[in-house]
């Protein structure tokens, strides 16, 4: 639900902004969204005893150094409409929108064994070429028995699990006999 609300605000922001200012706004809201990871901050923002003016003041103080009237107006509007909780979703949707606009994506490689940085670079280059985008892959060691490549913003998920390959080889041998 919050994503849908965030997308409406993003459409309004896009209509009055260029790519550079969109990038700046995305960075600002990304920092604001990190504030919502703090339980004390979230408690204050969700507390009905804290007035809208005080909540607005807290958020505006957080972005005061940016000196952007568009950001200030958006924050005031979010507070007025009691949609402060949308800020993390707004930051995420702004990030995704910028990624699609710039054709620049971040993905992850999951595996239980170490993968050479050269292989990661080759995978990034291959996916970038195939999807006509810039794709940067980061490695995360997990308990996945194989290799899994995930670029969520593009909807790409490729995995090669050792158990699935073994079962397919067995099926192929059985069919050949």
pLDDT digits (tens, 9 = 90+) for 75-110: 998 989 988 989 999 999 999 988 888 899 999 999
- DSSP alpha helix (H) spans, the chain: 2-15, 19-35, 39-46, 52-62, 69-80, 87-102, 117-131, 162-176
- How distant is the alpha carbon of residue 173 from its chain centre? 43
Q: In the beta sheet, which residues pair with residue 108?
A: 138, 150
Range 50-72 average pLDDT? 86
Contacts of 148 (CB under 8 A, 6+ apart): 109, 110, 111, 157, 158, 159, 160, 161
For 157-171, write each residue's pLDDT tens digit. 988 877 777 777 777
Q: In what order do the strands lie in the sheet with 156-161?
A: 134-141, 104-111, 146-151, 156-161
What pLDDT, on the 0 to 100 scale, is given for residue 125?
A: 92
Q: Is 145 left (phi over 0), alpha (psi -120 to 50) or beta?
A: beta
CA-based nearest residue to 151, from 108, 95, 104: 108
Domains contained in the chain, CATH given: 2-99 (1.10.520), 103-176 (3.40.30)
Q: Cα(17)–Cα(19) distance, rounded to whole angstroms?
A: 7
What pLDDT, on the 0 to 100 scale, is given for residue 135?
A: 92
For 120-137, write each residue's pLDDT tens digit. 899 899 999 999 999 999
End-to-end CA distance of the chain: 54
Q: Tell me if the pTM is above 0.85.
A: no
The CB-side HSE value for 44 (13 A sphere, CA atoms) comes to: 13
CA-based nearest residue to 105, from 32, 144, 156: 156
């Amino acid at each position: 639900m919050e994503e849908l609300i965030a997308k409406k605000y993003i459409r309004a922001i896009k209509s009055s902004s260029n790519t550079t200012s969109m990038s700046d706004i995305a960075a600002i809201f990304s920092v604001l969204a990190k504030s919502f990871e703090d339980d004390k901050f979230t408690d204050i923002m969700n507390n009905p005893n804290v007035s809208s003016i005080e909540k607005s003041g807290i958020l505006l103080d957080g972005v005061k150094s940016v000196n952007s009237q568009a950001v200030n107006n958006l924050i005031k509007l979010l507070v007025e409409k009691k949609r402060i909780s949308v800020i993390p979703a707004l930051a995420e949707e702004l990030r995704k929108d910028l990624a699609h606009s710039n054709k620049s994506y971040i993905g992850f490689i999951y595996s239980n064994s170490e993968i050479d940085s050269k292989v990661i670079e080759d995978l990034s280059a291959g996916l970038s070429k195939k999807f006509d985008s810039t794709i940067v892959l980061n490695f995360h060691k997990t308990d996945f028995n194989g290799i899994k490549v995930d670029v969520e913003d593009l909807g790409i998920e490729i995995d090669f699990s050792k158990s699935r390959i073994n079962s397919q080889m067995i099926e192929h041998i059985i069919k050949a006999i």
